[in-house]
Structure 1
Amino acid sequence: MRNKYAIALVVILTFCGNIWAQEDENSEDKKNAQTEKPEKLKVQANNIVTDPIDPLAPARAAFYSAILPGLGQAYNKKYWKIPIVYAGIGAGLYFYLDNNKEYKRYRSAYKSRLAGFTNDEFYGTISDDGLREAQKTLSRNRELSLLVTIGIYALNIIDANVDAHLLQYNVDDNLSLVPHYKINDFDKTGDLGLTINYKF
């Protein structure tokens, strides 16, 4: 019976001794931590040289394209777009002028017939109703060509403005959007997603 008490006493004393030893070690660590000076934190910054952002650049590019089509693209250094702008505007103007010329031909022939003359270039081949329908079609085509030309001119201005905005857009490695594909270990299906990385 005494042996049981002696063993229990030894176990309790050993346990309490371990606890006191840990408390002493913790208190010594705290004292050492208080007396030691912390190391200085060194931060190295990457020197990223970027072009300064000009907030008026998009408005300036749009203004230049409004004055002279293609000038905004030249301001943005997108020279390859200038022939496309002039080809689109030139094609629209060509169809407008061609439809206008044909409209005037049919219009003058129709007026000549209304005046009672029979010497117009379409006499004997096209009836009066045919001349009226041709005038309607050519007038509609002429207006459509004018709308297309104005639309291409407006697109030229919008393109210069948007391009100037995108030239100042931040696309460095510290800011990235990366697609990733991962196999799920639980049910062996694929997970597709996007990872957004931003480094400060």
Structure 2
Amino acid sequence: MFSKFYIIVFCLFFGSLQAQTDSLKIALPKQLEQYARATDPLSPSKAAFYSAVLPGLGQFYNRSYWKIPLVYGGMGTSLYFYIDNQKAYNRARNEYKLRLRGIDQTDNPKVGRYTKDQLITVQRNAQRNRDLSLFITIGIYILNIVDANVDAHLQQFNVDEDLSFKPTLEYNPVINQNHLNLNVSYRF
């Protein structure tokens, strides 16, 4: 009877120890991998570097895939307006050069009807708009790098539902009025 007791205790002890070892082997690597990814101190600098090399690559590194079309859409739109304003500037400048040579009538439908003073104004406006488009393109490029850096920094913070703020309206029967209560709770 005494040896049966030892055998039962022995089987229970090693049986439960084996079950704990299996559950730890499965759960531990995923937790360590997520923790290592979340606390990598070089992650923001990597994301900023990737975005500087190729716009949108930092957002891909941060797994913010929905921001990539915004980056390329903004940069593409501003580059389109840069090229369009450069063409308008060149057209007006070439027409103005022709007017200075003494050729008053040209076949250019876009700027052929303007006077010399109007052509100077068209050139200035096109040049100003071209430069503005270039500054907007550079601004979107810099914003892309800053966004990748900040997004990588913010991924290191724990943002879960353990901290809650709930305003409630409660009735106080003693004074027959409603009161606004603010509950702040933190769960561990």
- TM-score if structure 2 supplies the norm length? 0.71
The whole-number CA distance in structure 1 between the counterparts of 2:35 and 2:115 is 68
Equivalent residues, number: 151
The whole-number CA distance in structure 1 between the counterparts of 2:74 and 2:181 is 41
Three-state SS of the structure 2 residue aligned to 1:169 is: coil
Which of 88, 101, 108 aligns to 2:94? It is: 108
Three-state SS of the structure 1 residue aligned to 2:177 is: coil
The whole-number CA distance in structure 1 between the counterparts of 2:130 and 2:77 is 12
Aligned positions of 1:162-177 closer than 5 A? 162-173=150-161, 175-177=162-164
Instruction: Encode CA deviations 1:92-148: one digit per residue, 9 max, x unaligned.
Output: 10110110011011011112212322254344x211111111111111111111111
Give identity over the alignment, percent: 47
Q: Which residue of 2 aligns with 1:71?
A: 57
Which of 118, 122, 139 aligns to 1:151? It is: 139
Q: Which residue of 1 aligns with 2:35?
A: 51
Which of 159, 183, 186 aligns to 2:170? It is: 183
The whole-number CA distance in structure 2 between the counterparts of 1:131 and 1:71 is 43
Q: Which residue of 2 aligns with 1:9?
A: none
The whole-number CA distance in structure 2 between the counterparts of 1:153 and 1:99 is 20
The whole-number CA distance in structure 2 between the counterparts of 1:51 and 1:187 is 52
Gap regions ≥5 residues in structure 2: 1-26
The whole-number CA distance in structure 1 between the counterparts of 2:74 and 2:159 is 31
Q: Compute the displacement of 1:80 (Å).
A: 2.4
Cα distance 1:90–1:183, how it changes in 2: closer, same or farther (>3 A)?
Answer: same
Which of 61, 75, 81 aligns to 1:95? It is: 81
Gap regions ≥5 residues in structure 1: 1-46
Q: Please give the root-mean-square deviation of Cα atoms over the aligned residues, in Å.
A: 2.2
Q: Write the letter of the residue equivalent to 2:164.
A: L
Cα distance 1:80–1:117, how it changes in 2: closer, same or farther (>3 A)?
Answer: same
Q: Write the letter of the residue equivalent to 1:116.
A: G
Q: Write the letter of the residue equivalent to 2:163.
A: S
- Structure of greater Rg: 1
Q: Compute the displacement of 1:184 (Å).
A: 5.3
Cα distance 1:158–1:192, how it changes in 2: closer, same or farther (>3 A)?
Answer: farther
The whole-number CA distance in structure 2 between the counterparts of 1:82 and 1:61 is 13
Q: Write the letter of the residue equivalent to 1:51.
A: Y
Q: Which residue of 1 aligns with 2:13?
A: none
- TM-score if structure 1 supplies the norm length? 0.67
Is 1:193 the counterpart of 2:172 in the alignment? no
Q: Which residue of 2 aligns with 1:139?
A: 127
Higher fraction of helix: 2
Q: Compute the displacement of 1:192 (Å).
A: 4.9
The whole-number CA distance in structure 2 between the counterparts of 1:190 and 1:115 is 84
